[in-house]
């Protein structure tokens, strides 16, 4: 645990120099990028998978599944229960049968929606997703030691055409490696979030939300693990 005020640590407990893996943070960052490009008119959240010509390997998407909209994928309510790259066993065990639910009628946390969102983002914006992350978020928040060249697509062609991604590291059982970005100049009482596309402003004494979709608040000395398009956050 670490607490900061005006960019300075005033309380810590435990080993604050050890990296801890925290899953399921990519949705927040990807949602932030979607929000930015939605406001610019580059992405239609009401577009269906059929409109966007999004499909998958055999057995491909059904007519019903293709009616899922982008906003359904962003909220894990697509109704698409196709296999996905980089699924864990819990996702596999809990995945409903194909055709069990129509789009926007059932929440199921899954990788297919998020992986497909990566495909859609690059298709609709013409931007590589980590280049966009660097420009719109990492640079704005003044993260250091960041390079989008550190990441690559991870495909599981026997499951899906939409990739997830990893940074393999033989020293870690999890197969992920910290890239060691640090927020070095953003005091916790100063908002960078409005320029990051969330439209949230703050004044001294107010807390700024960097990514409003999941309420993620970023302060100094935060180290991030990124993969493409799967990524995680760890606090240092």
* Residue bearing tokens 């859609």: 120
Q: Tell me, what's the pLDDT at 59?
A: 92
Least-confidence region, from 37-41, 44-48, 108-112, 224-228: 224-228
Q: Quick one: pLDDT band at residue 17, thresholds 50, 70, 90?
A: low
pLDDT at 133: 86
Q: Which helix (H) or strand (E) holds 154?
A: strand 154-156
Q: How much is the mean pLDDT over the chain?
A: 72
Q: pLDDT (tens digit, 9 = 90+) per residue, 49-83?
A: 999 999 999 999 999 999 999 999 999 999 999 99
Note the pTM of the prediction, 2 decimals.
Answer: 0.67
Cβ neighbours of residue 133 under 8 Å, at least 6 residues apart?
29, 33, 148, 226
What pLDDT was estimated at residue 23? 66
Residue 97, pLDDT score: 97
Q: If we measure between CA atoms, which residue out of 103, 25, 96 comes closest to residue 62?
A: 103
Q: What total of structural domains would you count in the chain?
A: 1
Question: Tell me: the pLDDT tens digits for 143-181?
Answer: 655 666 666 677 899 999 998 854 433 333 332 222 333
Percentage of residues in the chain having pLDDT higher than 90: 42
Cα–Cα dist 36/29, whole Å: 11
User: What is the predicted pLDDT for the residue at 151?
Assistant: 67
- Per-residue pLDDT of 80-98, as tens digits, reads 999 999 888 999 999 999 9
Helix (H, G, I), strand (E, B), or coil: what is residue 104? coil
Domain range enclosing 97: 1-236
**3-state DSSP call for residue 65?**
helix
């Amino acid at each position: 645990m670490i607490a900061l005020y005006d960019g300075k640590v005033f309380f810590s407990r435990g080993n604050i120099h050890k990296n801890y893996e925290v899953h399921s943070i990519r949705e927040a960052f990807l949602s932030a990028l979607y929000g930015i490009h939605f406001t610019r008119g580059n992405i239609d959240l009401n577009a269906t998978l059929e409109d966007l010509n999004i499909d998958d390997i055999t057995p491909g998407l059904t007519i019903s599944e293709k009616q899922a909209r982008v906003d359904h994928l962003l909220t894990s309510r697509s109704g698409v229960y196709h296999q996905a790259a980089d699924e864990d066993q819990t996702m596999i065990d809990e995945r409903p049968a194909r055709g069990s639910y129509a789009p926007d009628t059932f929440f199921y946390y899954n990788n297919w929606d998020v992986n497909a969102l990566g495909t859609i983002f690059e298709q609709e914006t013409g931007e590589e997703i980590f280049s966009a992350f660097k420009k719109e978020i990492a640079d704005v928040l003044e993260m250091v030691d960041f390079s989008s060249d550190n990441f690559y697509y991870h495909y599981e062609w026997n499951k899906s055409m939409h990739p997830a991604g990893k940074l393999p590291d033989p020293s870690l059982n999890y197969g992920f490696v910290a890239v060691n970005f640090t927020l070095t100049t953003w005091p916790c009482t100063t908002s960078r979030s409005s320029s990051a596309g969330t439209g949230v402003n703050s004044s001294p004494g107010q807390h700024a939300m960097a990514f409003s979709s999941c309420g993620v608040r970023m302060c100094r000395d935060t180290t991030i693990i990124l993969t493409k398009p799967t990524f995680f956050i760890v606090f240092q």
